[in-house]
Each structure stands twice: as structure tokens, then as C-alpha cells.
């Protein structure tokens, strides 16, 4: 079965073509800067253990034009990996917000599309782009089944005590205001890999997804018990440009006392805060370099970033009543030695001890970085959201 996975952003399309169930990647790519004269298409083909890369810079006016260019590459006489688009059985779409309506991978119908549109207010930066990707793919891959995999679905196993807010009941019952969580596809994938590594399906695992966006999840027996993001993706950990947890009084102070508009405060907390607000950088590599150069603000930002993670670790260990493994994943989690070291420092009481030599090793494979004999495993598990989407699509169709 050939499954084409699409992650459609506001000005980008990320994609991979899988042969399932072997999970073999035939090609992958990224269309960036859609809507600009200098849009960039990067296409990678995998054949015979080799990777060939094609790049082009040209005007790509919209998502339809972008996906049409990808379509031609898929079946190109010289570099194509398919004879016809009809060979694609399924197009799997990442959809950020599924609300309470979608707790599992779902075939896309007209009713499903209407429900995704109704959720636009809960994810205004993501769901409209995801929806656009669906509409374009339906035209280009007309014979394939279209399937939606929701970022929020994995967190739908949270109990009400974890997802409800202490606000009047009608805001939940009438408006659906509650914690939904995000990065669910990543959390599900790495938690599954960790449980498989531990040979313990019922394991108690805390997954830490650290990219430009950051979140944590408490997982037991493969199900999410709690997660750090809420109604939207701003809550919880300190992120690249997002503030994470903040006293609500700050918002009222800025609006009522300092004259900021609500839109301005929203922009500040979403796009100008986090590590960018603290240091002027949102790339952790730049911040690490600044620390090495003696920048006190950069050091303070790292202290705040890792301290927030440690606070959530303690809370989730309490929620789980124990812990088998901590998992670091995503760009920062997989590659930033200093972040892992600082998070695990002075956590011996909770069974978390880091082996500094193992932590310093760079690898693209799942690896264990705790000290020998530690009661809690500390794992680095590379995430693969596209593969998880392909697997969920395959399992859905195989079960039908």
C-alpha cells in the first residue's frame, strides 16, 4: 500500500511517500514560501540506499500549484518513483485540532470537512492550512482515500480532572473550552517506541517534545494521562517564541494599564516571547553560543527553560505514581546536550540520573543515556510524525 503523507502549513507543504507496511520511504520533500516569487521546492528520492536531492526556486502562487509540482515529480520519467498517481492508495493529512469530535484517525468525508472548519477558531493558525491541503489533495489525488490524523487525538484519553478548567460550566459545555493538547502524533510515536524498547507495554513514560514548540505528556499503558498544552498551543513549557505558562493577570495589566490591544498581547505571547523574548534568539544553537560568550541573559533563559521542564516532570511523576522512562525528542530534545544535562541535574531523588558520556554521543538512533543501573531510563527517541501518520492510516484501512 502506498501512502502519501501531507503536512500543510500556511505557506508550506511537507510530504513523504511510504510503502506500507514495510514503512519504506520512497521520497520526501518540502515546498516553502508558497505565495512568493522565490518559493523553494526540495525533493528527495531514496533508491538503492542512496539519496538524491532536487531543488528549485521559482514562483509558486498557491498550495494547488505547489502540490501540482510535487505530483509531476512523483511520476517524472527520470526521477519519479511511481508510474501513475493512481498507485497512491491513501493520502494522510496532519490536522492540528480535532476538538472532542475526533479521538481517532478518520476517513475524510464532507461532514468531517465541515467539522474541521468549525474548529478553525480553536486553531486559527493551523486548521485552515490543514483544510486547504485536504481540498487541494482531493483534486490531485482523486482516486486515493483521504484520511485525517489529528494532533489532539492522542490526548483524548485524558480524564476530566486533567483537561477541565476551573471556569463556569457553560464555557465547557457550550463552547468546548478545555485542554486539548498538541504534538499528539509525536508523543504517541515516541512513547510507543520507548515502551517497545523497555519491553513493557504498560510502562509509565513522560515524553518531552522540544522543538520551536514544546510540550510534555504523561503516558501510561500507551494512553495519555496529562499534557502541558491546553486549548491552544501556547500553554506549558517555555518555547522558541511562546511564553508558556503565565499569570493571567499579566494580560489584564498590559491591556488595562499599559494600553495594549488584545491582538498585540496575543502577538507578544505567541511570537515575541519565550527564548526569543528573553535572549533575542529562538534557535537554541545561537543561545548556547551566547552562553559560551558569557551572556547572562542567555544563561538565565536556559535556566528558566529547563527549570520549567523539571517542574512538569515532578508533577507528572506524581500523576503517574511512578516512572519507568523519560523520553527526549524533536529538534532540541534530540540534539541539545546541554538541555538534557540541565533537566536531569539534581533529580536523583526521583530516580533520574544522567550518564554524561552517553549524553554527549550524537546519534540518529534511539539511545539510553541514563547511568548504569538507574531505576528510571532516560531515552533519546527520534520522532517521526510522518511515519506515525502513515501507520495510523494503514491500520485504519487494514481494519476495514
Confirm whether pTM is higher than 0.85. Answer: yes
Annotated active-site residue in 52, 151, 303, 324: 151
Q: What average pLDDT does the segment 16-31 reach?
A: 94
Give tens-digit pLDDT for 246-257.
999 999 999 999
Is 200-385 in CATH node 3.40.50.800? no
Tell whether 209 is in a known binding site.
yes
Tell whether 333 is in a known binding site.
yes
Provide the pLDDT confidence category of residue 34 given band limits of 50, 70 and 90.
Answer: confident
Q: What average pLDDT does the segment 209-221 reach?
A: 95
Does residue 151 carry a catalytic annotation? yes
Tell whether 29 is in a known binding site.
no
CA nearest to 339, candidates 218, 235, 237, 236:
237
Contact (Cβ atoms closer than 8 angstroms) between residue 317 and residue 206: yes
Helix (H) or strand (E) holding 220: strand 214-220
Give tens-digit pLDDT for 109-135.
999 999 999 988 888 878 888 898 899
Q: Which CATH superfamily is domain 2-150 in?
A: ATPase, nucleotide binding domain (3.30.420.40)
Tell whether 210 is in a known binding site.
yes
Give tens-digit pLDDT for 193-212.
999 999 999 999 999 999 98
CA pair distance 192, 329, nearest whole angstrom: 13
Would 2-150 and 200-385 be classified into the same CATH topology? yes
Contact (Cβ atoms closer than 8 angstroms) between residue 275 and residue 305: yes
> What ranges do the domains of the chain cover?
2-150, 200-385
Distances (CA, A) of 203 to 68, 156, 322, 329, 339: 44, 19, 10, 18, 24
Tell whether 385 is in a known binding site.
yes
Amino acid at each position: 500500500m502506498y501512502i502519501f503523507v501531507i503536512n500543510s502549513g500556511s505557506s508550506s507543504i511537507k510530504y513523504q511517500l511510504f510503502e506500507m507496511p514495510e514503512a519504506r520511504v520512497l521520497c520526501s520533500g518540502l515546498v516553502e514560501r508558497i505565495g512568493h516569487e522565490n518559493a523553494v521546492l526540495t525533493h528527495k528520492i531514496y533508491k538503492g540506499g542512496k539519496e538524491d536531492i532536487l531543488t528549485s526556486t521559482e514562483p509558486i502562487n498557491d498550495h494547488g500549484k505547489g502540490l501540482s509540482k510535487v505530483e509531476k515529480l512523483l511520476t517524472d520519467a527520470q526521477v519519479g518513483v511511481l508510474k501513475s498517481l493512481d498507485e497512491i492508495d491513501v493520502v494522510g493529512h496532519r490536522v492540528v485540532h480535532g476538538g472532542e469530535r475526533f479521538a481517532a484517525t478518520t476517513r475524510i468525508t464532507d461532514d468531517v470537512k465541515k467539522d474541521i472548519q468549525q474548529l478553525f477558531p480553536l486553531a486559527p493558525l493551523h486548521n485552515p492550512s490543514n483544510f486547504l491541503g485536504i481540498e487541494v489533495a482531493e483534486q490531485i489525488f482523486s482516486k486515493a482515500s483521504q484520511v485525517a490524523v489529528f494532533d489532539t487525538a492522542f490526548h483524548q484519553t485524558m480524564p476530566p480532572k486533567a483537561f477541565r478548567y476551573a471556569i463556569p460550566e457553560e464555557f465547557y459545555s457550550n463552547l468546548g473550552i478545555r485542554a486539548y493538547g498538541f504534538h499528539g502524533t509525536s508523543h504517541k510515536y515516541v512513547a510507543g517506541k520507548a515502551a517497545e524498547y523497555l519491553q513493557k507495554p504498560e510502562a509509565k513514560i513522560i515524553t518531552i517534545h522540544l522543538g520551536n514548540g514544546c510540550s510534555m505528556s504523561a503516558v501510561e499503558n500507551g494512553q495519555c494521562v496529562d499534557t502541558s498544552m491546553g486549548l491552544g498551543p501556547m500553554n506549558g513549557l517555555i518555547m522558541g517564541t511562546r511564553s508558556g505558562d503565565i499569570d493571567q493577570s499579566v494580560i489584564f495589566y498590559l491591556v488595562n494599564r499599559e494600553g495594549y490591544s488584545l491582538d498585540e498581547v496575543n502577538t507578544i505571547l505567541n511570537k515575541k516571547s519565550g527564548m526569543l523574548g528573553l535572549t533575542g534568539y529562538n534557535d537554541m544553537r545561537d543561545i548556547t553560543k551566547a552562553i559560551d560568550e558569557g551572556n547572562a541573559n542567555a544563561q538565565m533563559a536556559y535556566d528558566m527553560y529547563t527549570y520549567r521542564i523539571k517542574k512538569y516532570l515532578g508533577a507528572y511523576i506524581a500523576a503517574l505514581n511512578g516512572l519507568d522512562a523519560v523520553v527526549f525528542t524533536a529538534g532540541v530534545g534530540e540534539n541539545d546536550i546541554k538541555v538534557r544535562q540541565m533537566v536531569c541535574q539534581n533529580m536523583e531523588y526521583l530516580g533520574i540520573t544522567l550518564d554524561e558520556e552517553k549524553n554527549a554521543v550524537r546519534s540518529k538512533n534511539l539511545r539510553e543515556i541514563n547511568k548504569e543501573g538507574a531505576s528510571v531510563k532516560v531515552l533519546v527517541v527520534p520522532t517521526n510524525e510522518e511515519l506515525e501518520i502513515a501507520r495510523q492510516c494503514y491500520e485504519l484501512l487494514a481494519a476495514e
